[in-house]
């Protein structure tokens, strides 16, 4: 591939990931009635252009598709029928892989990449003609990381008008390689809550979504710290919760505070929630957590006395899709809890490690909170 083509493609891919002003005008691949997606890429001079499916093979019908070129340098391909939901993908041009320049970009897989939204029979996560809450970008300085950070805060419809009303809070975490943007951009949690509130099926609540990576100063990999270098639990307990309580009209007791997350965020929710019963009494783990579980010693021995645990926590909710590679581990965690007489709620259903599953998880989990 010639140098001029590489520079042009890099510039287009950069625009795809950074130009948020035009993002809502970009519609992305066309999807027909059989849920087949047609992709277009302008790459004159390229030898090979592909669509790379980053989800499981069944999500988009195949792991990759070779595109064909016309006489004007336009490449195109139509996929097999795709599964309803949101699926990550990227474009490969002579081996150079990046976001689709003609589609909206999402932060996933540790970078800005593309997402294919395939319609289905359900509309619970779509914007509807109902009152809508607000999603705020809340910037703050963290002493834990020594940096400025932002979290996203959803406030329900009526929050600005009902100045005397206080609200419970759900702290909601994304998965590995994603960011604080994920639950609104990919998960549509704000629309899910708006629709549930209109139906009267959920308690009005504030939802806080922070970045699950909180590098200690001097960490080797500050963008994606692991192990002891990731001080996220310290940040949540000592900075985030106090800041949210000081900045928003919240109830400040554990009975009105929940924590949940997906995949990596599920592990964080379990670790933080079970490690701090004075802060959280409602916990949700979506498609993650519970590996190598021992009811006597895991999570600081919080499960060792079932009577104490059951009398303290209001809800321990676990969910996973049948086709998820981690399904057996999460199911085994649930079964071990049952055997230990630990009260928990188990939710299983179709799908793999994907956003359509987690949309269903937050739909079900949120309706049980703060009752």
- pLDDT averaged over consecutive 10-residue blocks of the chain (371 residues)? 46 43 68 97 96 96 98 97 97 97 94 96 97 98 97 98 96 98 98 98 98 93 87 98 98 98 98 98 96 94 98 98 96 97 97 97 98 93
The model carries a pTM of 0.92
The pLDDT value given to residue 28: 85
Whole-Å CA distances, 141 to 138, 151, 221: 10, 11, 20
The pLDDT value given to residue 19: 43
In a domain, 129, yes or no: no
Whole-Å CA distances, 35 to 51, 117, 190, 367: 16, 10, 25, 31
**Do both 188 and 322 map to the same domain?**
yes
Separation CA 121–CA 103 (nearest Å): 23
**Do both 104 and 156 map to the same domain?**
no
The pLDDT value given to residue 9: 47
**Do both 325 and 279 map to the same domain?**
yes
**Do both 111 and 157 map to the same domain?**
no
Structurally, the chain folds into a number of domains equal to 2
The pLDDT value given to residue 17: 42
The pLDDT value given to residue 23: 54
Which domain CATH number covers 287?
Answer: 3.40.50.1820
**Do both 52 and 194 map to the same domain?**
no
Last residue of a domain, one of 118, 142, 169: 118
Structural domain of residue 190, as residue ranges? 134-366
Partnered with residue 286 across adjacent β-strands are: 262, 319
Last residue of a domain, one of 88, 118, 148: 118
**Do both 352 and 208 map to the same domain?**
yes
The pLDDT value given to residue 8: 45
Last residue of a domain, one of 118, 151, 174: 118
The pLDDT value given to residue 227: 85
């Amino acid at each position: 591939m010639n140098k001029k083509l590489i520079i042009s493609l890099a510039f287009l891919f950069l625009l795809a990931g950074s130009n948020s002003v035009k993002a809502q005008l970009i519609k992305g691949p066309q999807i027909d009635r059989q849920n087949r997606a047609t992709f277009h890429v302008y790459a004159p001079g390229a030898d090979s252009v592909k669509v790379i499916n980053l989800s499981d093979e069944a999500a988009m019908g195949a792991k990759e598709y070779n595109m064909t070129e016309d006489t004007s340098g336009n490449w195109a391909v139509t996929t097999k029928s795709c599964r309803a939901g949101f699926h990550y993908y990227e474009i490969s041009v002579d081996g150079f892989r990046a976001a689709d320049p003609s589609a909206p970009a999402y932060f996933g897989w540790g970078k800005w990449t593309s997402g294919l939204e395939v319609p289905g029979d359900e509309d619970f996560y779509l914007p509807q003609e109902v009152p809508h809450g607000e999603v705020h970008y809340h910037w703050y300085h963290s002493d834990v990381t020594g940096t400025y950070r932002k979290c996203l805060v959803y406030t329900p419809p009526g929050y600005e008008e009902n100045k005397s009303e206080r609200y419970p809070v759900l702290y909601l975490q994304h998965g590995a390689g994603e960011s604080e943007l994920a639950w609104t951009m990919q998960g549509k949690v704000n629309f899910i809550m708006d629709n549930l509130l209109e139906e009267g099926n959920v308690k009005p609540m504030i939802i806080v979504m922070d970045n699950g990576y909180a590098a200690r100063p001097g960490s080797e990999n500050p963008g994606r710290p692991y192990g002891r270098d990731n001080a996220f639990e310290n940040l949540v307990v000592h900075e985030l919760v106090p800041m949210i309580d000081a900045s928003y009209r919240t109830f400040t007791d554990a009975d009105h505070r929940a924590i949940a997350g997906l995949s990596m965020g599920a592990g964080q929710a379990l670790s933080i929630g079970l490690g701090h019963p004075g802060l959280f009494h409602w916990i949700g783990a979506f498609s993650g957590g519970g590996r190598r579980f021992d009811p006597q010693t895991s999570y600081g021995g919080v499960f060792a006395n079932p009577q104490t645990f059951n009398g303290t926590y209001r809800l321990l909710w676990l969910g996973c899709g049948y086709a998820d590679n981690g399904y057996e581990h999460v199911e085994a965690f649930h079964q071990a809890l049952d055997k230990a007489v630990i009260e928990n709620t188990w939710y299983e259903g179709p799908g793999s490690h994907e956003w359509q599953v987690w949309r269903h998880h937050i739909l079900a989990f949120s309706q049980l909170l703060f009752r």
